[in-house]
C-alpha cells in the first residue's frame, strides 16, 4: 500500500514535470515570435544622486507586451530566455533600443543621462559581444561613457580568462561596468579583485531592513566603504522609504534607485522627471542631518 502511494506520487510528479516542460516550450516559441513581432518594451527607472536628489541616469528594464497575457515582468520570461539562448537576441534588442533612446534624449531634450543595461551570462560568454556593443554604439551614435553594463555575480560565476578579456574589451570601448545585486553571490570580493568593475549596486535585500536591522546596516556600511576605498561608484537598490534614504546618505552612498523616487516608467515620462522627482520623498529623506 505504501508502495502504491509512492508510485502515485511519482506519477503526479512526472505529470507536473511534463507540464512545466511544455509550459517552457510554449513560452520559448511564444517569445521567439514576440521578439520578431516587436512585443518587447523598455521601462526606465531613475537613478538619483543621494546628496542632491537629482536624477543622473536611468536603468533600462525589459518588459514583454504579450498579446494575451498582458505586460510581463522579466522574471516571467528572462529565465526561459537564458535557458534557451533567446536571451541573446533579447539582449541585443534591449541594448540597441536603450542606446537609441539615450541618443534621442540627448538630441531632443539635451538630457545628459547615463543608461544602465542588464547583461546576462549568455551574452557575456560570447567573445564577439564587445564588437556587437561597439556596432550598436556606432549605429545609434550614443556616447559610450553614458552606457553602463550591469553584470550579476551569477553571470560571472563560471567566468573564464576569456570573460576577463571580454570585460576589458568592453572597457576599452569606453563603457562602464557595474556589479549588480552585490552581496547576493558567494564570492563578491573575489569578483571585485578579478574584474574591471566601475560601479557596485548594493542589493535591495540588504537595503530593505537597513533602518531596523543593525546587521543589515553593518553589511551595507561595509559594502559602501569598500566601494569607496576601491574608487567605485556605489548605488543602493530598492530604496522605498525616507529612513532608508537617510541611512544610505549617512553612509556616503553616491546613488540610489527605488520606489521612493520612482518606479520604472515609459521613456516619454523621463524628461519631465529631471527636475521634478517626487520632491517630497527626496526632501523627507534628506533634510534630517545625520
Ligand atoms: P535588477 O537589475 O536588480 O533590477 C532592479 C529590479 O528591482 C527591477 O525589477 C525594479 O523594478 C525593481 N525595483 C526597483 N525599485 C524597487 C523598490 O523600491 N522596491 C522593490 N521591491 N523593487 C524595486 P524588474 O524590472 O522586475 O527586473 C527584475 C530583474 O530582471 C532585474 O533585476 C534584472 O536582473 C532582470 N532584467 C531586467 N531587464 C533585463 C534585461 O534587459 N536583460 C536581462 N538579462 N535581465 C534583465
Ligand atoms: Mg540591474
Ligand atoms: Mg540590481
Ligand atoms: Mg537586485
List, for residues 157-215, the tens digit of each pLDDT value: 877 888 999 999 999 999 999 999 888 876 678 888 888 999 999 999 999 999 999 99
Question: Could you tell which of 74, 94, 101, 117 is best to mutate to test the pocket of ligand 1, judged by most ligand atoms within 8 Å of the CB?
Answer: 74
Query: Which stretches of the chain are DSSP H helices?
Result: 2-36, 78-84, 87-109, 121-124, 129-140, 161-173, 188-194, 204-207, 214-229, 242-250, 270-273, 279-286
Cα separation, 276 vs 278, whole angstroms? 6
ipTM of the complex: 0.97
Residue 225 and residue 233 in contact, taking contact as beta carbons nearer than 8 Å: no
The verdict on the CB of residue 73 being under 6 Å from ligand 1 is: yes
Residue tagged 536591522 (cell numbers): 213
The verdict on the CB of residue 45 being under 6 Å from ligand 1 is: yes
Give the pLDDT score at 218. 94
What are the CA-CA distances from residue 224 to residues 70, 182, 246 (Å)? 38, 11, 14
Taking residue 201's Cβ as centre, other Cβ atoms within 10 Å add up to: 28
Give the pLDDT score at 48. 96
Distance 4 CA to ligand 4 centre (A): 45
Cα separation, 25 vs 22, whole angstroms? 5
Give the pLDDT score at 74. 97
> Which residues does 78 contact at the CB level (< 8 Å), separation at least 6?
62, 87, 90, 120
Does residue 112 sit in helix, strand or coil?
coil
Distance 237 CA to ligand 2 centre (A): 9
- Give the residue from 197, 166, 200, 208 showing the smallest Cα distance to 183: 200
**pLDDT at position 72 over 90:** yes
pTM of the model: 0.91
CA-259 nearest atom, ligand 1: 18
Give the pLDDT score at 213. 94
Amino acid at each position: 500500500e505504501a508502495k502504491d502511494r509512492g508510485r502515485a506520487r511519482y506519477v503526479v510528479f512526472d505529470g507536473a514535470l511534463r507540464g512545466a516542460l511544455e509550459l517552457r516550450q510554449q513560452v520559448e516559441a511564444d517569445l521567439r515570435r514576440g521578439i520578431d513581432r516587436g512585443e518587447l518594451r523598455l521601462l526606465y527607472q531613475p537613478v538619483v544622486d543621494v546628496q542632491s536628489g537629482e536624477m543622473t541616469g536611468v536603468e533600462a528594464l525589459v518588459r514583454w507586451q504579450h498579446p494575451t497575457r498582458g505586460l510581463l515582468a522579466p522574471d516571467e520570461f528572462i529565465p526561459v530566455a537564458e535557458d534557451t539562448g533567446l536571451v541573446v537576441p533579447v539582449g541585443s534588442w534591449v541594448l540597441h533600443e536603450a542606446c537609441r533612446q539615450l541618443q534621442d534624449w540627448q538630441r531632443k531634450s539635451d538630457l545628459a543621462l547615463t543608461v544602465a543595461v542588464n547583461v546576462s551570462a549568455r551574452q557575456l560568454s560570447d567573445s564577439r559581444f564587445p564588437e556587437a556593443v561597439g556596432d550598436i554604439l556606432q549605429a545609434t551614435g550614443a556616447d559610450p561613457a553614458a552606457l553602463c553594463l550591469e553584470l550579476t555575480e551569477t553571470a560571472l560565476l563560471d567566468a573564464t580568462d576569456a570573460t576577463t578579456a571580454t570585460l576589458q574589451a568592453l572597457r576599452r570601448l569606453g563603457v562602464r561596468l557595474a556589479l549588480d545585486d552585490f552581496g547576493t553571490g558567494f564570492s563578491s570580493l573575489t569578483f571585485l579583485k578579478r574584474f574591471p568593475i566601475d560601479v557596485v549596486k548594493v542589493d535591495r535585500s540588504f537595503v530593505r531592513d537597513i533602518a531596523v536591522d543593525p546587521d543589515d546596516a553593518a553589511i551595507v556600511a561595509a559594502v559602501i566603504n569598500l566601494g569607496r576605498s576601491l574608487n567605485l561608484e556605489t548605488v543602493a537598490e530598492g530604496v522605498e522609504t525616507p529612513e532608508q534614504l537617510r541611512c544610505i546618505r549617512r553612509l556616503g552612498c553616491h546613488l540610489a534607485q527605488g520606489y521612493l523616487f520612482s518606479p520604472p516608467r515609459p521613456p516619454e515620462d523621463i524628461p519631465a522627471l529631471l527636475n521634478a522627482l517626487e520632491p517630497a520623498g527626496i526632501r523627507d529623506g534628506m533634510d534630517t542631518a545625520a
